[in-house]
Structure formats: C-alpha cells, structure tokens
Amino acid sequence: MKHTIQLVLCMSVILILTVTTIQNPKHVKAEIQQNWSSDYPTENMQMGEQLTEPVIQDRDLSLEMKTLMVEEVSSILVASKMTSSSLTEVPNHIRNNFPSAAVTATGYTAGEESTGKNSSHPLYGITFSGVEVTRDMYSTIAADPNVFPIGSILYIPGYGYGVVADTGSAIKGNIIDLYYDTVDEVFQEWGKKEVMVYVIEVGDGTFTEEELSQLNNR
C-alpha cells in the first residue's frame, strides 16, 4: 500500500510539471534566455569586442579570414608600388654610357588644347620634322632644336625613348614636351616633371617617317 501511494504521488508531480510547461512555454524560454544572457553579457556583443566563449568561435574565424584578406591586398599594393617605381629607374647601360641633362618635361597632344589644330586641319598630328606624332617604343617629342636638334634620341625615365621631331614657341632652353594620345593620359601619366634625361644620340636636324619606322620595328 505504501509503495502504491508513493507511485501515485510521483505520477502526480510529473503530471503537474508537464501541464505547467505546456501552459507556460514562454516562461521556460525566458529562463533559457536569461541564463544565456548571464553567461554571455550583452556588452560583449558590441562591435569590436572579442568573445572567448565557444559559441563565438565562428565570428573569430571570420575575423581571421578578413585579416588575411587585408594582408593579401596590402601585399598587392606594395608590389604595385614597387612596379610603378621601377618604371622610373634608369637601366645601368644607359646611366653609365650616355650624357645626361636636367630638363622640365611636360606632356602634350595633337589636339587644339596643345597645338591649336583640330582633326580637320591639314597639318593635324604632323610635327615640325614632317613625321606624324606617335606614342610607341620610340615616341615623338618636342624640344628646343638649339639644345636638342631634330632627330636627337633621349631616354626619359618614366616615359621611355623619345625622338625630337617637333618644336614649339613655348619650348625654349631645357624644356621638352612629351607626346601622348589623349589629354587624360597627359594628366594621369605625366603632368609636369623635373627629370634627368639621357642623350642617346644627337640629331643632325632632320628626321623622317622611315627612320621612325626603323626605330620602332628593329
């Protein structure tokens, strides 16, 4: 009889708990949320805080991946800067074997903004020497013929080889004008610079399309 009473009491307690849980699920959920909040304070969830609990490991992994991505981008930027810098370096065989001169170098185009001629002008894109302007391995440039005679070949760090084929009323003394195809290229790639150029060859006052073609195709 005693065992029967105890069994009935146990069953009654279980039944009461079950009914309470079914009727008040929000209460149970609130207790779970409260316990979670006490274990992981809300202030630790703000941006920039590091959480050390296991449930936050995914976030830590994400931060590590972002750090690796930033490091990779930084490496690419450094490599890009090195490449850009190397373009202005002078090859040793040029530095050691040819005379140099300090000049002020600007950029120009064949358009009205530089020459006053538009594409309908019969002399549009034609230099003083008679050759057509070009940006190539050997590009056409303008200079004072009293300093660098027509046909002279210069090596300009950051630009490359330039052949003096043109002149200009504003180009006097140690000033040279480097040809570019567009105004955007003038501003983005050059602008105005003080540079040391190397005289590869002194011209004889003349220069032809045939000579320019030979230089760019050899």
- Amino acid of residue 4: T
Tokens, residue 119: 């594409």
d(CA 26, CA 20): 11
d(CA 103, CA 108): 16
d(CA 56, CA 110): 63
- Domains in the chain (CATH in brackets) are 2-64 (no CATH), 92-217 (2.40.40.10)
| pLDDT, mean over the chain | 74
Least confident of 13-27, 104-118, 142-156, 171-185: 13-27
Classify residue 211 by burial, with Cβ atoms within 10 Å: 0-12, 13-18, 19+. Answer: middle
Highest mean pLDDT pick, 66-75, 81-90, 106-115, 170-179 = 170-179
* Residue (of 170, 106, 161) closest to 137 by Cα position: 161
* Residue (of 61, 34, 64, 59) closest to 47 by Cα position: 59
pLDDT score for 120: 85
At residue 166 the predicted structure's pLDDT band, cuts being 50, 70 and 90, is: very high
Q: Which residue has the tokens 């373009």?
A: 87
pLDDT score for 177: 96
pLDDT score for 89: 81
Q: Which helix (H) or strand (E) holds 191?
A: none
Q: If you average pLDDT over residues 185-193, what whole number do you get?
A: 93
Tokens, residue 171: 């180009």
Q: If you average pLDDT over residues 6-11, what whole number do you get?
A: 55
pLDDT score for 6: 54
Tokens, residue 6: 């105890």
pLDDT score for 162: 98
113-150 pLDDT, tens digit per residue, is 888 888 888 888 899 999 999 999 999 999 999 999 99
Q: Which residue has the tokens 């307690």?
A: 13
